[in-house]
Amino acid sequence: MSEPESTNLPDDRLGILYAASAYALWGVMPLYWALLAHIPAIEVALHRSLWCALFLAIVLLLRGRGWRILTLMRNRRLLAVLALTSALITANWALFIYCVATHQLIEASLGYYMTPFISFVLGIVFLKERMSRIRIAAMALALGAVLVQTIELGHIPWIGPTLALSFGLYGYFRKLAPVDAADGLLIETWILFPAVAVIIAYLGLTGQGAFPAPTVLENATLIGAGPLTALPLVLFAAGARRIRLTTMGFLQYLSPTITLLLATLFMGESFTRTDAITFCAIWLALLVVSLEGYLPRLRLRLR
């Protein structure tokens, strides 16, 4: 997906609706994965990849993009990058589903709040981007929040940082890949498709797998993981073309906020004082970064 250029044009209302819908779907998705909590997280992730690959193949073939996909797959460098992103996103999916099954959604939510800061570090290290004093201060706040949680837990909170790192690296390498969201996701899932199909078939034939399940509902839930994976990404791509990057930046925090509310209000997870301190520091850091672009204009208006 090509990134939209920075612009001062007003946001398209339909674009905001598309992007907000994508983040809202990602936010409520734990409710869906909770229906499959009795199945090992890695197996659910494999089904997610399998059915997503089949769903996207049907959709893109109906849209007449078959030759375009074949052309992209002849590019060995692109395939190498997408093989890496495929491994990263599959690991991210499996870990997030594990968080749902083990009631650790609060830490998962923290991980996705931390993702922008992973992007900052990747930008500095690999793209030689410069950090403003405001962003350095925000980074210090975020790192301080993680340190507070580490001291309270007595060990390094690995789930949040791992989710943030895997998704941050995924976003970084996908940004380098000259391919749009739907085409890229199709190739990513089809790179793993042969291995995933063999594993799922083996588990099913030996009676160790969840598919085929004894009920139609459970089979439908596993198959539905494919479209559910693809739909938010398509909505995201449609929204990104219609609204400014700064607007997209604000909307991206909708997803972990919804997940946090679900975890504490409906899924029985406790929100401790340490969690409150950690999230307050993260939210403050995000607010600081979000306001950075508006400070020069504010100074001009005050003159």
The domain ranges of the chain are 13-302
pLDDT single digits (tens) 234-282 = 787 677 667 765 566 567 777 888 888 888 888 878 877 777 887 788 7
| Count of helix runs (H) and strand runs (E) in the chain | 13, 0
> What does the block give as tokens for 224?
């539905």
Of 145, 116, 110, 115, the C-alpha closest to 131 is 116
How far apart (Å, rounded) are the C-alpha atoms in residues 108 and 113? 9
> What does the block give as tokens for 298?
């504010």
| pLDDT given for residue 249 in this prediction | 58
pLDDT single digits (tens) 110-148 = 788 777 777 777 777 776 666 677 777 777 877 777 777
Q: What is the pTM of this model?
A: 0.76
- Give the ranges where 154-272 is alpha helix by DSSP (H): 159-176, 181-205, 216-240, 245-251, 254-265
